[in-house]
Amino acid sequence: MASLSLRNIRKRFGKTAVLSGIDLDVADGEFAVIVGPSGCGKSTLLRTIAGLEEIDEGTVRIGEQDVTGFPPSKRGIAMVFQSYALYPHMTVYENMSFGMKIAGASAEEIDRAVRATAQTLGLTALLDRKPKELSGGERQRAAIGRATVRRPSLFLFDEPLSNLDASLRVRMRHEFSRLHETLETTMIYVTHDQVEAMTLADRIVVLREGCVEQIGSPHDLYHYPANRFVAGFIGSPSMNFLAGSVLESGSTKTVVRLANGATIQVNAGSERLSPGSPVTLGIRPEHVATRGDHNFVETTVTLVEPLGSHSYVYLEISGADASLIIRAPGDFRGMKGDRLTVVFPVDACHLFGEDGKGLRQTPTKNKMAKQGDS
């Protein structure tokens, strides 16, 4: 195993800055996920770690060694690509053993490593098959096996599940978690899917336009987003945002007036906020309630999406630019045109200043407890 340290990583393609001074530390044995929208630089960042892209500025350290100028073969890494990149004329066994053969390992050592890895990944019965005889999930496991068999110090995964259907992606997420526990190896995983990031990561790195927006555990990014971008990117459906202005604010509490006249108390604030300051209030669909003591908001139902176990309800609020989405029970019986009073629980509300930065919330003992109950 090995740690990873990136300092001031910069990369341009022509006049376009793709990475703009990335600093990142990944601990030995950690599972880090790099996430962000298409074009944010996450795959380029992974390729710079692998040595497949030369950086314009900065340093890459794996363990105690500066590998900035090293070719990929000398970095002690293994990379699994979105396209699997299996040799079509080779069997699974031959694909998995190829790297060790090139490295000059003995036939006995290769066979022992391949069969042990195949056992771990459930590939033993597939060793004699060629890629065209495998399903998408089996090809992905074979690609992982080829990378795993050499026991690298660092694993890199570039959107490895994006070619699979939804149900298979769920199963493969379990495989990745199990693999990380079994190998106890440092893994860096790139995806645009924030659900993958939340379910797999020890820590998540959120990128936007070549810059790090926030690094933290899934819990921290969900409950304490650093800014409006992270708040909207993490969570599905994304957080609701409502424009408002400050009525009063202290270091731990702010009262906001929404465009429809509703007043909302938020357990976050800053003494630098003066009355009348524009702010954005955020609340996740799963945290909007229909019962409570205060923070009432009057709405009108515009659409109901029943999904069995729960329903997503779209609500119109006077003065708001977009619909408010709430997660309601599966037996929700509201219809288009119905009036519905919803409640924004104090501890579930987020507040963002005019610059988009989040104002740190004040945790309470029962934070988030049963706030989605309807």
Q: Give φ, ψ of 360 to 5 degrees.
A: -55, 130
Q: In this structure, are 102 and 198 located in the same domain?
A: yes
Per-residue pLDDT band for 170 (boundaries 50, 70, 90) equals confident
Task: Give backbone dihedrals phi and psi of 55, rounded to 5 degrees, phi first.
Answer: -90, 150
Q: What would the pLDDT profile of 141-164 be if each residue is shown by its tens digit?
A: 898 888 888 888 899 999 888 877
Expressed as residue numbers, the domain containing 161 is 4-229
Domain with residue 332: its CATH number is: 2.40.50.140
CATH number of the domain bearing residue 11:
3.40.50.300
Lowest mean pLDDT among 168-182, 208-222, 269-283: 168-182
Residue 361 has what pLDDT?
66
Looking at the fold, whether 202 and 247 belong to one and the same domain comes out as: no
If one compares 178 and 331, the residue with the highest pLDDT of the two is 331
pLDDT value of residue 372: 42
Q: Is the pLDDT of residue 82 over 80?
A: no
Q: Look up the pTM and report it.
A: 0.87
User: What is residue 227's DSSP assignment?
Assistant: B
The answer to whether position 50 is within a domain reads: yes
Closest CA to 80 of 58, 99, 104, 57: 99
Dump strand ranges (E) for 50-91: 57-62, 65-66, 77-80
The three-state secondary structure class of 99 is helix
Give 164's Cβ-side CA count (13 Å radius).
Answer: 23
pLDDT in tens, 3-47: 999 999 999 999 999 999 999 999 999 999 999 999 999 999 999
222 and 324 both lie in a single domain: no
Mean residue pLDDT of the chain comes to 89
In this predicted structure, the answer to whether residue 326 has a pLDDT above a threshold of 90 is yes
Average pLDDT for 272-301: 92
290 lies in the same domain as 208:
no
State the total domains in the chain: 2
pLDDT tens digits, 314-323: 999 987 878 9
Among the ranges given (47-56, 78-87, 360-369), the one the predictor scored with the smallest mean pLDDT: 360-369
Q: Sheet harboring 203-208: ordered strands across?
A: 77-80, 154-158, 186-191, 31-35, 203-208, 211-216
> Mean per-residue pLDDT for 204-227?
96
Taking residues 238-257, what's their average pLDDT?
91
374 in a structural domain: no
Q: Which of 128-132, 147-151, 263-267, 308-312 has the lowest mean pLDDT?
A: 147-151
Instruction: Verify that 92 and 45 share a domain, yes or no.
Output: yes
Q: Which residues pair with 266 in a beta bridge?
A: 254
Is 258 found in the same domain as 214? no
Confidence of residue 133 (pLDDT cuts 50, 70, 90): very high
- Evaluate if residue 204 carries a pLDDT over 50: yes
Q: Are residues 210 and 283 in the same domain?
A: no
Cβ-based neighbours of 352, under 8 Å, separated by 6 or more: 227, 228, 231, 241, 279, 280, 281, 282, 358, 359
